[in-house]
């Protein structure tokens, strides 16, 4: 069985710049969002350095959506080196913790990408 067969939400290809902040150590890093879904994002660090991030880490994703700067809380679901010598991670968004404007902007972004 393929992973996509059991995913709760469809993954949508994307190529959008953002920034991730690991709450525990306040480490900030530029990322590129590679996939979107109603549940979260798959992303790649733009510049791999010595980022201290692991599954379960609480994070905040800062992303510009149209004319809005949006802050989205979440937690890291997985971390893995990719086949392209980049470092990838998946973030499950905690949209219930986001403010209404951020939540609506994100959901609008996902729906417009479908």
CATH code of residue 46: 2.40.10.220
User: What range does the domain containing 61 cover?
Assistant: 3-101
Average confidence (pLDDT) over 77-83? 76
Using DSSP bridges, classify how beta strands 68-81 and 58-65 pair: parallel, antiparallel or unpaired.
antiparallel
Question: Would you state the pLDDT for residue 31?
Answer: 93
- Kindly state whether residue 110 falls inside one of the protein's structural domains: no
The Cα 8–Cα 23 span in angstroms is 26
Question: Would you state the pLDDT for residue 64?
Answer: 95
The pTM (predicted TM-score) of the whole model is 0.86
- Kindly state whether residue 19 falls inside one of the protein's structural domains: yes
Tally of domains in the chain: 1
- Kindly state whether residue 109 falls inside one of the protein's structural domains: no
8 Å CB contact between 68 and 109: no
Q: Give residue-wise pLDDT tens across range 26-35.
A: 989 999 999 9
- Kindly state whether residue 46 falls inside one of the protein's structural domains: yes
């Amino acid at each position: 069985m393929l992973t996509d067969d059991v995913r709760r939400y469809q993954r949508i290809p994307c190529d959008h710049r953002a920034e991730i902040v690991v709450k525990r150590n306040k480490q900030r890093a530029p990322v590129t969002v590679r996939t979107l879904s109603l549940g979260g994002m798959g992303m790649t660090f733009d510049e791999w350095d010595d980022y201290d991030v692991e599954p379960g880490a609480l994070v905040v994703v800062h992303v510009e959506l149209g004319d809005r700067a949006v802050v989205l809380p979440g937690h890291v679901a997985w971390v893995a080196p990719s086949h392209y010598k980049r470092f990838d991670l998946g973030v499950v968004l905690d949209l219930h913790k986001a403010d209404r404007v951020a939540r609506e902007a994100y959901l609008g972004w996902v729906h417009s990408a479908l």
